[in-house]
Amino acid sequence: DTGVSQNPRHKITKRGQNVTFRCDPISEHNRLYWYRQTLGQGPEFLTYFQNEAQLEKSRLLSDRFSAERPKGSFSTLEIQRTEQGDSAMYLCASSLYKGGLYEQYFGPGTRLTVT
């Protein structure tokens, strides 16, 4: 079990640039989630996929954000025209149905800084 991996771990970008993050879930997990965590707060849900289908999106996910999971394996999260308010830790999690619930396993996160 190699765990959930995320790349890059850190990204510094200038306001207005586009950025893309990648998440590789645990191999047998069919669900994948994205969360955003700002300093001193708990993670907030952005979106989730079951296999390649995106089944729910938070209102936090503005039109500048797009997430894909094209083959039901890895996922990408793209932010277009970044703003300083996008600075946060972006967390990915994956899950498998076990014991009556989907238990989520988190990756280390990608820390985005928009200057």
* 102: contact with other proteins by CB under 8 A: yes
Tokens linked to 77: 């999260």
In the shown chain, the binding pattern of residues 47 to 66 toward other proteins, with x for contact by CB under 8 A and - for none, equals -x------xx-x--------
At residue 44, what is the residue type?
A: E
How deeply is 74 buried, as exposed, middle or buried, from its count of CB atoms within 10 A (0-12, 13-18, 19+)?
middle
In the shown chain, the binding pattern of residues 15 to 34 toward other proteins, with x for contact by CB under 8 A and - for none, equals ----------------x-x-
Question: Is residue 104 a contact partner of residue 2, using CB atoms and an 8 Å limit?
Answer: no
- Residue with smaller CB distance to other proteins, 77 or 82: 77
Tokens linked to 93: 């999690």
Residue numbers of the site for other proteins (CB under 8 A)? 4, 31, 33, 35, 40-45, 48, 55-56, 58, 91, 93, 99-109
